[in-house]
Structure 1
Amino acid sequence: MNNLSQIEALLFVAGDEGISLPDLITMTGFEQTAVIGIIDDLAAKYDNDLSCALEIRETDGNYRLVTKPMLGTVVKQYFESPTNATLSHAQLETLVIVAYRQPITRIEIDQIRGVQSSGTLQKLAMRHLITEVGRKEEPGRPILYGTTVDFLDYFGLKTIKDLPPLPDLDSLDVNDDTEGELFANPFAVEPERK
């Protein structure tokens, strides 16, 4: 594994939040000038390879891998595709976490889910179900996510306080069937019994 691939891997796993220069230095153990040089080399590699879809963008002190602007139309079609009209299991799971734990960072969501959530968060943001609500006061100043008015509308809620209470997971016998039911429609309200 060479130095360039280490930086590239960190940029990739950092997702849409990106990663700061100090974090790159800490995680790789490289000198600042070496990290900056590797980022420049990687950016040049992406720029010079016309078959490559990626580029490096530096925003607010964080470096991110993004798709090249010329691919905007095809990427937009992906997010607006009818196949993406319904919420996937991963999107519902992430949305439940954001709704009940907001404001919350991507890292906190990843820890709860046990998988990387940046792509899922991007899709939810594109659908205007979640939005950035600020930054956490800690190193790297990660983005905080919360739900939107469109989220409330999508689930027929007047306010976030109208969310149904979460089930007590300790009292449930959670197996594969139960888990699927929990995330199938976590915002569904049971009909009143007469």
Structure 2
Amino acid sequence: MSKLSELEAVLFVVGDEGIGLEELSYLLENPTAQIYQWIQELNQKYQETAASSLNILEVGNHFVLTTKKEFAPLLKKYAQSPMSGRLSQAALETLAIIAYKQPITRMEIDEIRGVQSAGSVQKLAARQLIEEKGRVEGPGRAILYGTTNYFMDYFGLKTMEDLPDIQSMEDDLAEELPTDLFFDRYQEAVEEGEE
């Protein structure tokens, strides 16, 4: 296993959050200057290899593994294709969290959902429903996500105030559900002599 393949694996796993030289240096147990040289070598390899669709972008002090620009039309077509499938439950949950809590980081989304959301975030970004709205100040400079104009058009919203009110949805749900489902079933059983 070469250091370049280790570097590539880490860049792949961190996704669109990217990773800084210091963290790469710690993980790969080499000085930052050496890591930077490997990043340049790996990116050069990507550029020289026509069979590779990958590219490494330096964004601020982070490095992000991306696809080459020439693949943008294909990936956009995929994201908009009806055959790419509907949004999964996880993607819908993630989109709802972003819509109501924006701007929000992926880590905050993960905390709310209780599971990792990187795949859903990438799928939503590829479908142009969410986009980067900035970065958090401080270590790591995590990406802040928010909804796009396409999101507004897709869901027929003029402003974010047009989103359904969460409190009224909870109230409606409470009216639809029995107040004490278990007590009602117990009462039915007692009345039928099944105590």
TM-score, length-normalised on structure 1?
0.70
Q: How many Å separate the matches in 1 of 2:106 and 2:162?
A: 20
Q: How many Å separate the matches in 2 of 1:9 and 1:20?
A: 15
Q: How many Å separate the matches in 2 of 1:152 and 1:41?
A: 42
Identity %: 45
SS at match of 2:116: coil
SS at match of 1:162: coil
SS at match of 1:95: helix
SS at match of 2:166: coil
1:45 aligns with 2:39: no
More helix by share: 2
Query: Residue 57 of structure 1 aligns with which residue?
Result: 57
1:103 aligns with 2:70: no
Letter in 2 for 1:134: G
* Structure 2 runs not aligned, ≥5 long: 171-195
Q: How many Å separate the matches in 1 of 2:76 and 2:163?
A: 33
Query: Residue 115 of structure 1 aligns with which residue?
Result: 116
1:164 aligns with 2:166: yes
Q: Is the 8 A contact 2:54 2:68 kept in 1?
A: yes
**Distance 1:109-1:51 versus aligned 2 partners, 3 A rule:** same
Whose Rg is larger? Answer: 2
The CA RMSD over aligned residues, in Å, is 2.9
Q: Is the 8 A contact 1:152 1:160 kept in 2?
A: no
**Distance 1:68-1:150 versus aligned 2 partners, 3 A rule:** closer
Deviation string 1:77-106 (CA, Å, 9 cap, x unpaired) is: 211212247323232021122234332212
Bigger RCO (CA 8 Å, 6+ sep): 1
Q: How many Å separate the matches in 2 of 1:45 and 1:58?
A: 16
Q: How many Å separate the matches in 1 of 2:72 and 2:156?
A: 32
**Distance 1:147-1:160 versus aligned 2 partners, 3 A rule:** farther
Alignment of 1:25-104 (within 5 A): 25-84=25-84, 86-104=86-104
Deviation of residue 125 (structure 1)?
Answer: 3.2
Alignment of 1:109-188 (within 5 A): 109-111=109-111, 112-117=113-118, 119-148=119-148, 150-152=150-152, 154-155=154-155, 158=159, 159=161, 162-165=164-167
Q: How many Å separate the matches in 2 of 1:90 and 1:11?
A: 23
SS at match of 2:131: strand
Q: How many Å separate the matches in 1 of 2:154 and 2:131?
A: 15
Query: Residue 12 of structure 1 aligns with which residue?
Result: 12
TM-score, length-normalised on structure 2?
0.70
* Structure 1 runs not aligned, ≥5 long: 168-194
Deviates more, 1:6-15 or 1:156-165: 156-165
Q: How many Å separate the matches in 2 of 1:79 and 1:161?
A: 24
Deviation of residue 21 (structure 1)?
Answer: 1.6
Q: Is the 8 A contact 1:125 1:131 kept in 2?
A: yes
